Amino acid sequence: MNENTPQQLVMRHVIAALVTNEPGVLAHVAGMFAARGFNIDSLVVGRTENPELSRMTIVVTGDSAVLEQVRKQLQKLVPVVKVVDYQDAAYVERDLMLVQVSSKGVGGDADKREEIASLAQLFRARVVDVATDQIMIEVAGSEEKLEALLKLIEPYGIVELARTGIIAMRRGNASPFRKVAMARAAAAESGAGGGVDAADLPPG
């Protein structure tokens, strides 16, 4: 390859989309990704403060061209109200994990519950269930935090693991979109204008 040839930087992207709260939307969005060969690292959907809208948080890995295609294809879908990429924004992300760990260790020798619980405390995780030979830990945080904890408890023997996937939200509430929404809401309350248009509400 020519050294002067520009290379697209492959990055992890967190995208949020507000979608109408109706049956089949998740399948519709997931089908779009599958049909176009986009690889989804994580896809989470849940309710918002507006009962008519749900929030999808999607994590994809790719270069800027892939990201642009994902955004364009999402915006074409009828149930999608708004799409926001958090790449250039300050945001908070969280992943929730439940992990069942063997308290007897791989060799089945002495009880290791206190050791495992001490490791969990270092990551601000908590023990939510204890059995004679297993201990269940709950932890929330970034992917890096969860992966670091997993690396430490793996030698004890992981029996079962479940993760929710990434959810994310923009820091603060002073974005231009949010200011417009707040102004419209205030006008509606005073009778000076119509209600808030959901299209003006960013997911974050």
Which CATH number applies to 92-167: 3.30.70.1150, 3.40.390.10, 3.40.140.10, 3.30.365.10?
A: 3.30.70.1150
CATH class, domain 11-88, is: alpha beta
Q: Quick one: pLDDT at residue 204? A: 55
- Which DSSP helix (H) or strand (E) runs through 55? strand 53-62
Domain with CATH 3.30.70.1150 in the chain: 92-167
Q: For the segment 63-74, what is each residue's pLDDT rounded down to a tens digit? A: 778 788 888 888
Nearest to 165 by CA among 112, 69, 97: 97
Q: For the segment 115-161, what is each residue's pLDDT rounded down to a tens digit? A: 999 999 999 999 999 998 999 999 999 999 999 999 999 999 999 99
Query: Residue 200 gets which letter from DSSP?
Result: G
Q: For the segment 84-128, what is each residue's pLDDT rounded down to a tens digit? A: 888 778 889 999 999 999 988 655 566 889 999 999 999 999 999
Query: Residue 132 gets which letter from DSSP?
Result: S
Nearest to 163 by CA among 73, 99, 120: 99
Tokens of residue 168, six digits: 């994310």
**Secondary structure (3-state) at 116:** helix
Q: What is the pTM of this model?
A: 0.70
